[in-house]
Amino acid sequence: MKKPWLHILLALATEDRYGSAIQEEVRALSGGEVRLWPATLYGSFEELLEAGWIRQLDEHEQPGGAGGRERYYRITPSGRAALSAEARRFDAMAHTVRTRLGEESV
Amino acid sequence: MLAALYRAALRLLPRWLRDRHGEAMVELFVRDVRAERRRGGALAAAAAALAALTDVLRRGWAERGGRARRGDRRSGAGAEDHDTMTGRVGVMGSFKRDLVHAVRSLVRAPRFTVAAVATLALGIGSTSAVFTVVDGVMLRPLPFPDADRVTQLAWERGGGMAISVPYYKVHFWRDRARVFDALTTYAVLARTLGEDANDALPVRALGVDREFFPTVGYAPVAGRALVPDDQRPGGERVALLTFDFWQSRYGGDPGVLGRSIRLSGTAHTVVGVMGEDFDFPYVNGALHVLVPLALEPNPRDESENFPILARLAPGVGPALATADLERVWAEFQQEHGEIVNGSDEGMTLASFQRVYVGNRATVLWVLAGAIAMVLLIACANVASLLMARTTERRREMAVRSALGASRGAITRQLMTESLVLAVVGGILGVGAAWVGVDALLALNPDPLPRADSIGVDGRVLAFTFGVSVLTAFLFGLPAALPASRTGGSGPWSMRTTSEVSAGRKVLIGAEAALSMMLLFGAGLLVTTFVQLTRSDPGYDAGDVTSIEFPGIARAVPESEALAELETRAEAALSEMPGVHGVGWTSSLPLERGLNLPVGPDDRPDEVIGATEWRSVSPGYLEALDLELVAGRDLGFGDVRGAEPVALVNETFANYFFAGDAVGERIAIGRYRGQFIAPELEGPPSLIVGVVADQRDISLRSEARATVFVSRAQMPSLLAGPGKLLVEGPTDRAALDQLLAGLERVAPELSTARVSPLSSVVAASLVSERFHAVLLGTFAMLALVLTALGIAGVVSYDVRRRRREIGIRMALGEGAGQVVRGVTAQGMRPVLLGLAAGIVGSLFLTRALSSLLWGVTSTDPRTMAVVAVTLSLVALLASWIPARGATRANPVDALRAD
């Protein structure tokens, strides 16, 4: 999974958010390490929309009501599935690393 | 402006993405940059803007690769984006292909490439050189561990700030303040090292106290730091060596600890060696040894010689520290009312920048602004070149478009070429900066603080890279973006040639405006220098030679003997042929002399604290052609034992005696009823004459209250070696005669340093000259670049209109008429830009006002000279290519397509 995708999905895992709120959440989650600049952020939204992992909230679903200017995004069930598949991949990778380092028996 | 640049850069993205999110992206960009500015200042904001811009580029390449993979939904293009080996194209693949294409295309146009790269290298290189200096002096943190806790304290007094304070105040604040871990002071001392006085090695010593080490955060790597006993006057003398000196002088011998060395004739025991990383930026130049300052805090000694450096306790912020300093100040006022002046405001925290960089900061920021303008002009030139080149490549673009390349793909391709140009220019620029920094520092007479550690390093490389990429956007985007107005269906539609001409003319106008501002700024600084050089300081330095005797104090230690020697030398020299005047003085004009409190003898409460004090011989006034406005000159009868006499200048006479000072008595060195040093005690001095004011503190400032006392009467301790002024012929032979004459008087006078007094005056103007030369260089650079830009545009115009010109000439129009027409067209944008530049300079040059003298920041004469110069250069730059057009054979011209 592309790094920006992972970060965006993570930011959306707990609640629906809009563009700059996602950017801030990603920054906070990574301890200031990861910054998604506008072009990457919005470009990734499009890719994630296309993959069906996130969806854009309809106007009546928006927290601010129909009048809100911000476009909110929500993670979809397949997005959650992709995220937990990624987590399993990390686990497997971590397991391999520890085994190789001799910190854990096979 | 950044937002506009970003908005333009977004056109590198596919249209559909831009349409959906363009506004949100710009909004987020503005937010990001603002947040960074709040967090980390302008530099951080620029870095964020740069990161966001490169992000757009990267995204552009990613979209191009990604679209093919996802089975593009917006256009049929994309087949060419597939990598045949892997079937997928990432950012890098897409970027690599653009890169290869860009390099090929640039290599095929060597003349264009060389011109663009050279212009960029010049612009980026000088920008990097200036950044290196500004960063090294002002932006970089101090080299101390936990440097943000180290601060300077300064004495605030109405309207000003004293960096150095009397030792007693250092002592008082150290005792009472609670917010500091350590508080120290220091002084640079000139010493000699060695047994034999004649063969002694001059060394620079830093006098410190024991809290110096915890304050700066460096401890000796061998031996020990100072202990309280080391500072006891009369105790055993100790010294620490700096690492470099330990290596160079003692070969790094560890056995040096405990050894005795002689510093200026006194034995000192070496107790420690500082580490290699020890760095003390408050002092320029190499330090060799550290010695304890052995001082007794004495409230009556008000000589301001000691700067305060302090380390804040962890967690103490400026507010808490300021409150504590105010508390100590209240205590000081209560306990020491007798040494508090009405305008004193106590101690204040002062940053390194505020204290040491001070007014040099103005110069550095002016430089930074000037160089930014030069860089913009360079960008405008390259943008103009690129625009012309893009029109010439219309066919290539049309072919690529017909083959399926999208607009975005072509735009990205052109941007890649710009990036290549900028990065190559940047690499060459770093080389230029390397040379430029040394030239800049060598040119600067007034040593910048921390100049030793200034150099091209990682920060500078990062900055240069950032500037290169930023310039690529600045000059690349205008040419790379398709014109929206002509956009539409069909093949790739580039701008029409006339549109490009119009665009280039706008750039020329902008260049002219920037050049106008730079030239005007430079013109004002040059005028300042000329005005100061021509100004009448009140004395005539023209045919005066100054002679100093560096070794005289050691050769003739007794002041009586020295005074007698001076009198004999004065008498002997004044009889030599051609000599009009001979006089001794304690300090030369424009040299800082001793300052003492002086006031009327019968009004002990009235005093000018910093009266300029000079001890002179009776020939002094004559040697400098100073005018005596009242009373008499000093005479040879004014010797020790006779009534002490003094001359005062008009400023002093007006301040205390409404001008009528002759016959009044003054107390020299008396403050609040007490003499500040026992040597000054004695009967009051009688004012026997009033001397016309002279600007001898600095050519820029008005005369300061001054007293002249007779060298033959003054207290021995303040004597010091005198300097001899001789008015007469200044040619080599005459000077040799002078020196021979001096040697005949006494062999001790044979070691003399001779220099024309005018060189002392010139030396006092080195900063002004530096400002003028530097800004002048940048302005010249701007002028040349602008001229090249104008010539480029006009010759392009002429080539485009070859046919038209050919027809007109074939129909009988005279060559002169054609040249006039073409030149006029070239000049129109220049004149518009010039007008805009004049308006702009009226605002900008206000920043210079603290550097100006004898000229206002809106001086119409300088303005006129500069505007005419710029117009003439522009006229020449457009006339030469215009004339070339008429030389072409009309038949060839008509055949041109």
Strands B266-273 and B260-263: antiparallel
Least CB-CB distance to A42: which of B24, B60, B70? B24
- Check pLDDT > 50 for residue B77: no
Least CB-CB distance to A43: which of B26, B28, B59? B59
Q: In a mutagenesis test of the B interface, which of A3, A20, A25, A42 is the best target, namely the one with the most B β-carbons within 10 Å?
A: A42
Structure tokens at B140: 């970089």
Domain count, chain A: 1
Task: List Cα–Cα distances, B342 to B305, B337, B345, B530, B668, in angstroms.
Answer: 21, 10, 8, 40, 21
Contact across the interface for B58 and A39, Cβ inside 8 Å: yes
B54–chain A nearest CA distance, Å: 9
Q: Is B232 helix (H, G, I), strand (E, B) or coil?
A: coil
B495–chain A nearest CA distance, Å: 27
CA distance B836 to B510: 9
pLDDT value of position B311: 93
Mean pLDDT to the nearest integer, B229-247: 86
pLDDT value of position B647: 93
CATH code at A38? 1.10.10.10
pLDDT value of position B497: 66
Per-residue pLDDT tens digits for B115-163: 899 999 989 988 888 888 877 776 777 778 888 888 888 888 755 677 7
B2 contacts in A (CB within 8 Å)? none
pLDDT value of position B896: 58
A46 contacts in B (CB within 8 Å)? 17, 20-21
Per-residue pLDDT tens digits for B248-305: 988 888 888 999 898 887 889 999 999 988 888 777 778 899 999 877 787 777 677 7
Helix (H) or strand (E) holding A17: strand A17-18
- Residue of B56, B65, B63, B66 lying closest to B8 (CA atoms): B56
Give this complex's ipTM. Answer: 0.88
Amino acid, res. B212: F
Mean pLDDT to the nearest integer, B179-208: 83
B29 contacts in A (CB within 8 Å)? 37-38
Contact across the interface for B63 and A43, Cβ inside 8 Å: yes
CA distance B639 to B712: 5
Mean pLDDT to the nearest integer, B548-563: 76
**CB-side exposure of B107: number of CA atoms within 13 Å?**
6
Query: Interface of chain A against chain B, CB under 8 Å?
Result: 19-20, 23, 35, 37-43, 45-47, 50, 71
Mean pLDDT to the nearest integer, B367-381: 89
- Check pLDDT > 50 for residue B92: yes
Place A77 in a pLDDT band, splitting at 50, 70 and 90: very high
Nearest C-alpha in B relative to A70: B24
Answer for the pair B837, B516: CB distance below 8 angstroms, yes or no.
Answer: yes
Q: Does A65 fall in a domain? A: yes
Least CB-CB distance to B52: which of A20, A37, A50? A37
Size of interface A-B (CB pairs under 8 A): 54
CA distance B110 to B481: 23
Nearest C-alpha in B relative to A27: B32
List for chain B the helix, strand, coil content (%; round to 5).
55, 15, 30
Answer for the pair B666, B646: CB distance below 8 angstroms, yes or no.
Answer: yes
Contact across the interface for A38 and B24, Cβ inside 8 Å: yes
Answer for the pair B436, B371: CB distance below 8 angstroms, yes or no.
Answer: no
Mean pLDDT to the nearest integer, B752-770: 79
B52 contacts in A (CB within 8 Å)? 37-39
pLDDT value of position B290: 94
- Check pLDDT > 80 for residue B13: yes
Contact across the interface for A41 and B28, Cβ inside 8 Å: yes
DSSP B186: E
- Residue of B867, B795, B864 lying closest to B831 (CA atoms): B867
Answer for the pair B290, B238: CB distance below 8 angstroms, yes or no.
Answer: no
- Check pLDDT > 50 for residue B85: no
Q: Does A13 fall in a domain? A: yes
Per-residue pLDDT tens digits for B622-660: 888 888 899 898 888 888 788 899 999 999 999 999 888
Q: Which residues contact A31 (CB under 8 A, 6 or more apart)?
A: none
DSSP B339: G
CA distance B88 to B67: 10
Q: Does A99 fall in a domain? A: no
Least confident span in B251-255, B353-357, B591-595: B353-357
A18–chain B nearest CA distance, Å: 11
B379–chain A nearest CA distance, Å: 25
Strands B266-273 and B238-241: parallel
CA distance B135 to A27: 29
A41 contacts in B (CB within 8 Å)? 25, 28
A19 contacts in B (CB within 8 Å)? 24, 28
B60–chain A nearest CA distance, Å: 9
- Counting every residue written for chain A, the total comes to 106
Between residues B47 and B343, the one the model is more confident about: B47
Contact across the interface for B52 and A38, Cβ inside 8 Å: yes
Least confident span in A31-40, A85-94, B449-458: B449-458
Contact across the interface for B17 and A46, Cβ inside 8 Å: yes
CA distance B503 to B388: 10
pLDDT value of position B354: 62
Least confident span in B274-283, B351-360, B578-587: B351-360
CB atoms within 10 A of CB B41: 11
B70 contacts in A (CB within 8 Å)? 50
A43 contacts in B (CB within 8 Å)? 13, 17, 59, 62-63
Contact across the interface for A42 and B66, Cβ inside 8 Å: no
Structure tokens at B571: 């008498």
Going B446 to B451 to B452 to B454, the CA torsion angle's sign is: negative
CA distance B430 to B128: 7
Rg over alpha carbons for chain B, rounded to the nearest Å, is 35
CA distance B706 to B691: 9
pLDDT value of position B108: 86
Contact across the interface for A20 and B66, Cβ inside 8 Å: no
B13 contacts in A (CB within 8 Å)? 39, 43
Residues in a beta bridge with B628: B691
pLDDT value of position B78: 40
pLDDT value of position B293: 87
How much is the mean pLDDT over chain B? Answer: 82
Contact across the interface for B21 and A45, Cβ inside 8 Å: yes
B59 contacts in A (CB within 8 Å)? 39-40, 43
Place A85 in a pLDDT band, splitting at 50, 70 and 90: very high
Q: Does A33 fall in a domain? A: yes
Least CB-CB distance to B28: which of A20, A43, A71? A20
Q: Does A81 fall in a domain? A: no
CA distance A10 to B350: 46
Domain that holds residue A70: 3-76
Least CB-CB distance to A50: which of B24, B52, B70? B70
Least CB-CB distance to B24: which of A19, A40, A46? A19
Query: Interface of chain B against chain A, CB under 8 Å?
Result: 10, 13, 17, 20-21, 24-29, 31-32, 51-52, 55-56, 58-60, 62-63, 66, 70
Nearest C-alpha in A relative to B48: A37
Least CB-CB distance to A23: which of B20, B28, B60? B28
Answer for the pair B794, B886: CB distance below 8 angstroms, yes or no.
Answer: no
Answer for the pair B668, B563: CB distance below 8 angstroms, yes or no.
Answer: no
pLDDT value of position B173: 92
Answer for the pair B100, B413: CB distance below 8 angstroms, yes or no.
Answer: no
Mean pLDDT to the nearest integer, B773-791: 88
pLDDT value of position B504: 83
pLDDT value of position B357: 55
Structure tokens at B827: 């000049």
Residues in a beta bridge with B151: B310
- Check pLDDT > 60 for residue B197: no
Q: Does A93 fall in a domain? A: no
CA distance B540 to B761: 11
Tokens 């107790």 belong to B271
- Residue of B567, B579, B707, B689 lying closest to B637 (CA atoms): B567
Q: Which residues contact B338 (CB under 8 A, 6 or more apart)?
A: B299, B672
Contact across the interface for A40 and B55, Cβ inside 8 Å: yes
Least CB-CB distance to B59: which of A39, A50, A71? A39
B594–chain A nearest CA distance, Å: 57
For B190-309, where are the alpha helices, taking DSSP H only?
Answer: 212-216, 243-250
pLDDT value of position B492: 38
- Check pLDDT > 80 for residue B447: no
Least CB-CB distance to A39: which of B13, B20, B70? B13
